[in-house]
């Protein structure tokens, strides 16, 4: 140990100890600012990468898909390396994750935008007044419309909603407010979860088999389809309503009980109004979910060419089945049938969109306000 013979070292220790002459520039390393990339750097790197990769892909003679893939991968690597050199490891990791998340988002958007674009472009051809005022009765080629299918879809989905909303709501209320995690409540939850996962064709076959037993084989009318859709819809309504009821704070129930309000009135006037927006949103989304079902309606309702508003007698046309049939077994000439199929798909999509907008408006309107 030679501490005593090194005056400068002891001197330094002394100064630091008293803090008298601490140098102003001695920022500890953790606090020091590293270099930072200019704001245009990500875009710049992306432009350069895309240009270079375009050259590579042309040289290889490949297509756009490979170019996008290469650009994404090389861009991620280039950003990370550049940032690592200039800005340090922490910011480099931040930039890398940003690139990965953005890429995943764009990847997820591709099919969505693609479907939307295709349906709008293809469906635009027959998106005219005749499509909404004519049925297919007596139409073999050009012209005709889907009035019967639109009405059939609304009637059958409306019936399904009418049956499944009360059952679903009351089931959810039982589970959250009265179930107390009992054996019955747990098994209902379990079977609701199982029912969420059954394929829609199974629901269709169930309804078909049930009514075949009652009315003889080969029976097809709108109500059978509504029953099939109900089987699909109940678990969705139960699930979403249950989640909504669960997030109502228990304090509100207690506040109501403490005022001498009976339990059923507390549920009806405090719990449900508090979360009415959420429940309505869940129900609307459940309707949107079943309105596009094709397979169960194919086996239970079939297809008709004319308007049939009576769900208890005879086959009915529905938009998804109409679209499917027009596309799968078009007549001669093919073109008008394909056009009508796309337009039916477009109309269905618009209905779902309207339902979603309604859901948003409802949840906005019913949401508890604070000012």
What distance in Å separates the CA atoms of residue 40 and residue 53, rounded to the nearest whole number? Answer: 20
Residues in 261-320 at the binding interface with another protein, rule: CB under 8 A? 261-262, 265-266, 269-270, 273-274, 276
Least Å distance between CB 17 and another protein?
40
Reduced 3-state DSSP string for 22-41 = CCCCCCCHHHCCCCCCCCCH
CB of 237 within 8 A of CB of 332? no
- Taking alpha carbons only, the member of 10, 355, 364, 329 closest to residue 154 is 355
Residues in 208-267 at the binding interface with another protein, rule: CB under 8 A? 249, 251-262, 265-266
Closer CB to another protein, 202 or 270, in the complex: 270
Closer CB to another protein, 80 or 366, in the complex: 366
- Taking alpha carbons only, the member of 307, 162, 322 closest to residue 227 is 162
Contacts 24+ apart (CB under 8 A), 89-92: 91/34, 91/36
**Within 10 A of 39 (CB to CB), how many other CB atoms are there?**
8
Least Å distance between CB 366 and another protein?
8
Closer CB to another protein, 249 or 331, in the complex: 249
Using CB under 8 A as the binding rule, whether residue 365 contacts another protein is answered as: no
Least Å distance between CB 177 and another protein?
11
**Terminal-to-terminal C-alpha distance of the chain:** 73
Residues in 172-191 at the binding interface with another protein, rule: CB under 8 A? 180
Least Å distance between CB 276 and another protein?
8
Closer CB to another protein, 132 or 257, in the complex: 257
DSSP 233: H
CB of 315 within 8 A of CB of 220? yes
- Taking alpha carbons only, the member of 120, 124, 123, 80 closest to residue 100 is 80
Least Å distance between CB 253 and another protein?
8
**Within 10 A of 55 (CB to CB), how many other CB atoms are there?**
10
Closer CB to another protein, 44 or 249, in the complex: 249
Least Å distance between CB 368 and another protein?
3
State the number of binding residues for another protein (CB under 8 A): 25
Closer CB to another protein, 31 or 258, in the complex: 258
Contacts with another protein by CB under 8 A lie at 180, 249, 251-262, 265-266, 269-270, 273-274, 276, 368-371
């Amino acid at each position: 140990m030679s501490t005593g013979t090194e005056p400068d070292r002891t001197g330094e220790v002394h100064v630091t100890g008293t803090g008298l002459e601490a140098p102003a520039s001695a920022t500890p390393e953790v606090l020091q600012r590293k270099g930072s990339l200019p704001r245009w750097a990500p875009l710049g790197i992306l432009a350069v990468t895309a240009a270079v990769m375009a050259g590579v892909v042309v040289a290889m003679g490949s297509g756009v898909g490979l170019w996008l893939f290469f650009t994404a991968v090389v861009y991620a690597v280039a950003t990370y390396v550049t940032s690592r050199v200039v800005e340090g490891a922490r910011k480099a990791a931040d930039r890398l994750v940003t690139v990965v998340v953005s890429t995943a988002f764009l990847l997820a958007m591709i099919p969505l935008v693609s479907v939307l674009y295709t349906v709008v472009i293809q469906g635009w051809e027959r998106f005219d007044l005749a499509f909404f005022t004519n049925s297919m009765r007596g139409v073999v080629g050009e012209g005709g419309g889907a009035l019967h299918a639109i009405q059939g879809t609304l009637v059958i989905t409306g019936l399904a909603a009418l049956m499944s909303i009360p059952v679903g709501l009351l089931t959810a209320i039982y589970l959250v407010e009265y179930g107390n995690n009992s054996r019955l409540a747990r098994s209902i939850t379990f079977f609701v979860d199982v029912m969420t996962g059954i394929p829609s064709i199974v629901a269709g076959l169930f309804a078909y088999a049930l009514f075949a037993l009652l009315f003889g084989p080969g029976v097809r009318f709108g109500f059978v389809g509504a029953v099939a859709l109900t089987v699909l819809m109940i678990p969705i309504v139960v699930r979403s309503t249950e989640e909504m009821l669960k997030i109502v704070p228990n304090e509100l129930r207690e506040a109501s009980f403490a005022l001498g309000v009976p339990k059923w009135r507390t549920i009806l006037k405090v719990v449900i109004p508090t979360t009415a927006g959420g429940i309505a949103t869940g129900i609307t989304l459940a309707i949107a979910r079943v309105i596009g079902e094709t397979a169960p309606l194919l086996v239970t309702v079939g297809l008709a060419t004319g308007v049939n508003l009576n769900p208890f007698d005879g086959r009915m046309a529905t938009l998804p089945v109409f679209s499917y049939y027009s596309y799968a077994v078009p007549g001669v000439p093919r073109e008008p049938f394909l056009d009508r199929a796309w337009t039916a798909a477009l109309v269905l999509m618009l209905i779902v969109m309207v339902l979603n907008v309604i859901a948003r408006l409802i949840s906005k309107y019913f949401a508890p306000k604070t000012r």
